[in-house]
Structure 1
């Protein structure tokens, strides 16, 4: 057995925290294995002045890391699941999803005011069409301003006075010890989370006989089932960063999975939402069924309009 495994990871503080977490988990379940990190700069990390919806979407955060996997420069890759496209290159797959952190979005405001308390025309920083759509639906008076960069950069820009508030994921703040900065954890009824938000996934080569059994030990069943349902919905909708799509699944008693989802217009004036539940025997079927329901209720028109404009 190989004694050294190499993790491919982005270089942000949050990405490195996640990679080190996976490293410690591997070393815990497989004594004798050493794990090293290979920091890789992705296209998404290099292009910071353009919205993701304009430059190719989530795949920009994984492409170079996947190339390193295929060329054996690393043995596994650690990703935030909300950044991972639904389809993988030939020869690669998602081998494990670790236990999810809280999925909610966080509002951080300079004034300490909660979302509904912010003044008229408050400037809110976010690069997410999903977040902008839902917040504008509730507060058409607010101003959405583009905000890219890693978590530290976003918080710094808020502190410098560029925004009245910013929206980021609670999970990232919690992982980096910044929970005290959260003014308000936004309820899913206010801002439904991104697909996979709060979960960390590990990708590797499908034929790696050493890495796959190790990663299998790290997989968290409940998180895997929930994220699979969310990603099945996204695949059926063929959605990317150009369209506000949100979904969150949770597992209840007797292995009942409930999935909430929505598709919205970029301006927030239209939101199509729904909920489905079922057993865990085929969670992806729940995601597909809810996607079909949303399409029939009007999501298809929204998707067609956005892609026609794009």
Structure 2
């Protein structure tokens, strides 16, 4: 099988049906820069189309004091934007993809495009009044500003000599706090991508490699959210899909959805994709980094369809969901798999999911509504076509074999971590952060 092109091949024949689209965004400088970059890219394909920007303040923007994990992370930076989408006062929203929950979106929303991903790693920014140039040079007891449980838990493994202190706000606000010597910050940790987009790379003292700190799910990628029945907007946005970024982000979001806990739990990834081989590393830690599980999945060729278990399609199900069997009352392995699959499908009449035998068994034993595969083929009618979604991502013009295998790769990694004791770590975090769990 030949390698898949690493460049998107947009449908240049599509003509948007509207002359103007309304774009929602958060108010920060970084959010506005990201939104303008999306509009600039769209205008390359649709030069005669207009885009107006509407600035909206989210819960996460309003509360700048509490750590994110204490507020609860479900829709923290997206909810108010989605309300406006629902009201149809805006047509689509530009997000930092790491802010978009993997476990749930409003039922009528999807991610219509994922753009070419920027550097997903984390950066160290040393306070301007200090002379050191890296974390290793900072003295014991230095105060590192970050609100991310993911960063804190991993940094404590490598730099237990530091103190970690909450630092909230947009990029401008955080740098102002870092620069104020009276606040006591010696350095802060932020995403490389944000500094790149603001043209602030001169502030980077050090880039933290993934062997020290794995990055957040979707970090560095921009995702565009729209209504799932807005065919015109979906088709218009599809030209922005970047194949490798879509594949990597689907694998990462699949891992997060299956492992559970949300983006305020210390979980992290690294993905690598060359058009054929997909590699995903993942870690889940407790809040202080003293316990963790970590593993890797290598999918040597995601262009190949996964082999299916050949099952007996003649097995039938009674109205009470019990199977119809032969005279001996026994079932073969294939029949048991088929029975499990059909029972699962009866619970999800709206879904058309693609399981292998291991996934059927895993879902049948853990059917809690939160850790299921999300390949959903929605219904069609005469006026509206609803498209396949993978982790809420609509991927027009991308081979579904790649998407299914990318999702499966993330699921397999989560299953490996669960086998190593991830559920025990999550239970410990749940007891420490009850508010986080109540908001999920």
TM band (smaller chain): over 0.9
Q: 2:295 matched to 1:172?
A: no
Give the corresponding residue for 1:122: 142
SS at match of 1:67: helix
Unaligned 5+ segments in structure 1 are: none
Please, which moves more after superposition, 238-247 or 285-294?
238-247
Where in structure 2 are the equivalents of 1:23-62 lying within 5 Å? 23-57=39-73, 59-62=75-78
Q: 2:400 matched to 1:286?
A: no
| Aligned 8 A contact 1:131 1:191 in 2 | yes
* Deviating 4+ runs (over 4 angstroms): none
Give the corresponding residue for 1:182: 204
Q: State TM-score, norm by structure 1.
A: 0.97
Deviations 1:239-278 (A, max 9, x none): 22442000121102x5101101100111111221111121
Cα 1:128–1:38 change in 2 (3 A) is: same
State how far apart, in whole Å, the 2-side matches of 1:79 and 1:297 are: 33
Give the corresponding residue for 1:15: 31
| Aligned 8 A contact 1:29 1:214 in 2 | no
SS at match of 1:217: helix
More helix as a share of residues? 1
Where in structure 2 are the equivalents of 1:95-106 lying within 5 Å? 95-106=112-123
SS at match of 2:107: coil
Where in structure 2 are the equivalents of 1:1-310 lying within 5 Å? 1-57=17-73, 59-86=75-102, 87-110=104-127, 111=130, 112-161=132-181, 162-252=184-274, 255-278=276-299, 279-280=301-302, 281=402, 282-309=405-432, 310=434
| Aligned 8 A contact 2:292 2:425 in 1 | no
State how far apart, in whole Å, the 2-side matches of 1:11 and 1:243 are: 26
SS at match of 2:53: strand
Unaligned 5+ segments in structure 2 are: 1-16, 303-401, 435-440
State how far apart, in whole Å, the 2-side matches of 1:30 and 1:277 are: 39
State how far apart, in whole Å, the 1-side matches of 2:23 and 2:45 are: 16
State how far apart, in whole Å, the 2-side matches of 1:55 and 1:245 are: 18
State how far apart, in whole Å, the 1-side matches of 2:225 and 2:135 are: 36
Larger radius of gyration: 2
State how far apart, in whole Å, the 1-side matches of 2:107 and 2:264 are: 25
Deviations 1:182-210 (A, max 9, x none): 00010001111100000000011111122
SS at match of 2:189: strand
More strand as a share of residues? 1
State how far apart, in whole Å, the 2-side matches of 1:197 and 1:248 are: 10
Q: State TM-score, norm by structure 2.
A: 0.69
Deviations 1:107-131 (A, max 9, x none): 0112333122221011000000000
State how far apart, in whole Å, the 1-side matches of 2:208 and 2:100 are: 23
Task: Tell me how large the CA RMSD over aligned residues is.
Answer: 1.1
Please, which moves more after superposition, 52-61 or 29-38?
52-61
Deviations 1:40-64 (A, max 9, x none): 0011100111111111215110001
